[in-house]
Copies of this chain bind each other. A is one copy, B any other.
Amino acid sequence: MSPKKAVSGPSIPGAVWLRPRPPRRGQHGLTRERIAAEVVSQLDQAGPAGLNLRSIAAALDVHPTTLYWHVSARDDLLDLAVDAVFAELPLPSQPSDDWLADVRAFMHNLRAALLTHPWSGALASSRPLLGPEALARSEFVYAALARAGFTGDELAASAAAVSNLVIGSVATETSWQNGDESSARQAVHEHLHANAETYPAMADLSTESGRWGTQFSYSADLLLAGLAQKAPSSASSPGTNSQTPRTT
């Protein structure tokens, strides 16, 4: 049984972070951090479907059921792992004077971190991100957008748009990579081409890979252009009217 039986813990995913912290370290020196690190490493190797408590426990040299002292369910492990990925995201100690550049950099950094662990995009999109590392990054984005003049609901919506676009993009991208991407891409391309009358606009999509990066960049720039345009204090966004965000 977990310690301090769920004082205020609602049963949503992400709820690990809302419960009181469990004891620091046991006889085996088992901590949430060590567990999280092992989960990340096994997810990297086997993906979410291949994750099981028994092998994690084995790697940590404890009995499988021991894990239940430190977390309350398998789902908690995924929350720990996702937050560990966010920890890899560089967090500028202080913001620059260009909020738009800060947001753009955040988007690209977030994508990079999530791509390093291909399972993380899908997980991040399907559970509240309430871990301390994730919250710290959110705070950074909120601060940048607040400098742009966004407040209240519009601030929240702007920040959500930024995260959702990035996380959604990475989730889509990595969902292709779970199998043999090039052959999948080829099969889809043939399928669209064979049904060119029903899908005229999509019929001649490029079959080349390696376009994920440029396409993401352009997607991000679309949103950034909208942010720059709608920012209440557009004076603080040097690039608004004169030059639209770069297309790298």
> Which A positions have Cβ atoms within 8 angstroms of B?
8-15, 17-18, 121-122, 125-128, 130, 135-136, 138-139, 142-143, 146, 152-154, 156-158, 160-161, 163-165, 167-169, 171-172, 175-176, 178-181, 183-184, 187-188, 190-192, 198-202, 205-206, 211, 214-219, 221-227, 229-230, 241-245, 247-248
Contacts and interface: CB of A to CB of B under 8 A. Distances in A.
Contacts of A223: 161, 165, 222-223, 226
Contact of A206 (B152, B199, B229): B152
Contacts of A172: 125, 128, 160, 163-164
A244 B230 contact: yes
Contacts of A183: 8, 10
Contacts of A227: 222, 226
B199 A160 contact: no
A142 B156 CA distance: 29
Nearest to A129: B172
A175 B229 contact: no
Contacts of A143: 200-201
A89 B29 CA distance: 53
B164 A206 contact: no
B180 A219 contact: no
**Nearest 7 A-B pairs (CB), nearest first?**
A168-B168, A12-B179, A164-B168, A226-B226, A122-B126, A142-B201, A161-B219
Given A139-B198, A168-B168, A224-B226, 19 more contacts: A8-B190, A12-B179, A12-B184, A13-B178, A14-B175, A15-B184, A121-B126, A122-B122, A125-B167, A125-B171, A126-B175, A136-B198, A138-B202, A158-B219, A163-B168, A164-B169, A165-B165, A167-B168, A229-B241
